[in-house]
Amino acid sequence: MNIQLIYSLIAGISIGGVAGYLGSLMLQKRMSLAAGPLSHLAFPGVALAIVYGFDISLGAFPFIILGAVFIWILENKTKVPMDTLTALVFTVGVGASFLFLPIEEAEQALVGNISSIGPLETTLTFLFSLGIFFLIKSKMREMMIIGVSEDLAQIEGISVKKNSLIFIFSLAIIVALGVKLVGALLTIALVSIPAASAKNLSWSLKSFTVFSFLFGILAPLFGISFAKLFAMPAGILTILISAVFFLVTVFFQKNDR
């Protein structure tokens, strides 16, 4: 097997699996509010990375981390609807990016380029993804309780603000890594679609998180493999395959749903 393909698969599967795992939390109403703007905030950083010739995930990190802090503050301080914030961040971020990003170089920013990932980037992606997985796993019960009822969480001594911040930062890191796979505008699909597919098939919290993780792995596994086979963008194929999985699960969902 081509060594570059192995690097791409390791990185893609690492990102996809953890993104799907995070998605099982994102479907909780409170946690889902911050997800959309984060993927849009990656775009200016990705554009700068392309213009100045450094890694796009590295370019995305500072913008997304600052955005995570911004969203966390707004989540706790303001009553502005989050869909309004999403629209604002999306239009300003994308508009500003195209002021200095040559249109002929926009493809990598839009759909990613996992096929160019090297051994160091692959290793760092795997380690960051693994760290986020175990962090979220250790906080899963607390975050799920917060998603159900903040009042119940406070009764049990769970810090809502602390756990929300942990989740947002974890999501920010996965989004920053995910731009390498699917680009700056589609990263949120890595988190949302596998979890939606898992929801159709799950019968318990454990099965929900396991299926989310598995669907998150399978989409980039097939997407990157088919991209190599048919010389097509891996990011687009990954998202389309993930969407196909969702449509298939619709026909196999439990009857009581």
Pick from 169, 134, 168, 183: nearest CA to 17: 134
Q: Which pLDDT does position 179 carry in this prediction?
A: 81
State the CB neighbour count (10 A cutoff) for residue 89: 20
* Homologous superfamily of domain range 3-188: ABC transporter involved in vitamin B12 uptake, BtuC (1.10.3470.10)
More confidently predicted of 218 and 72: 218
Q: Domain boundaries in the chain?
A: 3-188
Would you list the DSSP string of 61-123? HHHHHHHHHHHHHHHHH--S-HHHHHHHHHHHHHHHHHHHS-GGGHHHHHH--GGG--HHHHH
Q: How far apart are CA 147 and CA 47, in angstroms?
A: 34
Q: What is the mean pLDDT of the chain?
A: 80
Residue with tokens 């961040």: 89
pLDDT single digits (tens) 204-234: 888 899 999 999 999 999 999 998 888 888 8
Pick from 30, 88, 41: nearest CA to 187: 41
pLDDT single digits (tens) 37-58: 666 677 777 777 777 777 777 7
Is residue 13 predicted with pLDDT exceeding 90? yes
